Structure 1
Amino acid sequence: MAHSDRSFNTRLTTWAGAVAMAVTGVVTGVGAASAAPPYPVVTDAGVASVTGDLQPAQLSPPGSNVPGCRSDRMPVVLLHGTAQNQMSAWQYLAPTLANRGYCVYSLTYGQTSWSAQIGGLAQRETSAKQVGAFVDGVLRRTGARQVDLIGFSQGNAVAQLMTQLPGRAAQVRHLIGLGPSNKGISKLGSITDRLPARAPGENDWGPTHPAIEYTMIMTRHDEVSAPYSNGFLPAAANVRNVVVQDHCPRDTVGHVGLPYDSWVGGQVRNTLAGTRAPVRCTVGYPL
Structure 2
Amino acid sequence: MLFKKILSAVSLAVLTFATTSSPVLAVPEKRALFGRYNDMDCKPSSSKPDPVILLHGLLGNSGEFAYIGPRFALKGYCTYSLDYGHIPGIPILGGLNDLMVSAMELSDFVDKVLAATGASKVDLVGYSEGSTLARVYLKYFNGTAKVNHVAAIGSNQYGTTLANIVTILKAAKLFGAVKGALNPLCKACFQITVGAPFLDQLAEGGDTYPEVKYLMLVSK
Superposition TM-score tier, normalisation by shorter sequence = 0.5 to 0.7
Query: Any idea what SS the aligned residue of 1:77 has?
Result: strand
Unaligned runs of 5+ in 2: 1-25, 164-188
What whole-Å deviation, never above 9, does each CA across 1:26-63 have from its counterpart, x for those lacking one?
A: xxxxxxxxx96324899xxxxxxxxxxxxxxxxxx874
Give the alignment's TM-score, normalised by structure 2. 0.66
CA distance in 2, matches of 1:154, 1:71: 27
CA distance in 1, matches of 2:159, 2:199: 16
Structure 1 residues 101 and 198, CA gap change in structure 2 (3 angstroms) = closer
TM-superposed CA distance for 1:219, in Å, is 1.1
The 5-angstrom pairing of residues 258-269 of structure 1 reads none
Q: CA contact under 8 A between 1:81 and 1:151: conserved in structure 2?
A: yes
TM-superposed CA distance for 1:186, in Å, is 2.9
For 1:184, the equivalent position in structure 2 comes to: 159
TM-superposed CA distance for 1:198, in Å, is 3.7
Greater helix proportion: 2
Residue 194 (structure 1) aligned with residue 201 (structure 2): no
TM-superposed CA distance for 1:68, in Å, is 1.3
Give the alignment's TM-score, normalised by structure 1. 0.52
Flag the structure with larger Rg: 1
Q: CA RMSD in A?
A: 2.7
What whole-Å deviation, never above 9, does each CA across 1:208-244 have from its counterpart, x for those lacking one?
A: 1101001000011xxxxxxxxxxxxxxxxxxxxxxxx
Q: CA contact under 8 A between 2:61 and 2:92: conserved in structure 1?
A: yes
For 2:95, the equivalent position in structure 1 comes to: 120
Unaligned runs of 5+ in 1: 1-34, 43-60, 221-287
Residue 68 (structure 1) aligned with residue 41 (structure 2): yes
For 1:83, the equivalent position in structure 2 comes to: 59
CA distance in 1, matches of 2:198, 2:35: 32
TM-superposed CA distance for 1:114, in Å, is 2.3
Partner residue of 1:143 out of 110, 118, 122:
118
CA distance in 1, matches of 2:88, 2:113: 26
For 1:171, the equivalent position in structure 2 comes to: 146
For 2:186, the equivalent position in structure 1 comes to: none
TM-superposed CA distance for 1:104, in Å, is 0.4
Structure 1 residues 76 and 65, CA gap change in structure 2 (3 angstroms) = same
CA distance in 1, matches of 2:57, 2:99: 11
- 1:83 is matched by which residue type in structure 2? L
TM-superposed CA distance for 1:167, in Å, is 2.4
- 1:139 is matched by which residue type in structure 2? L
Bigger RCO of structures 1 and 2 (CA < 8 A, at least 6 apart) = 2
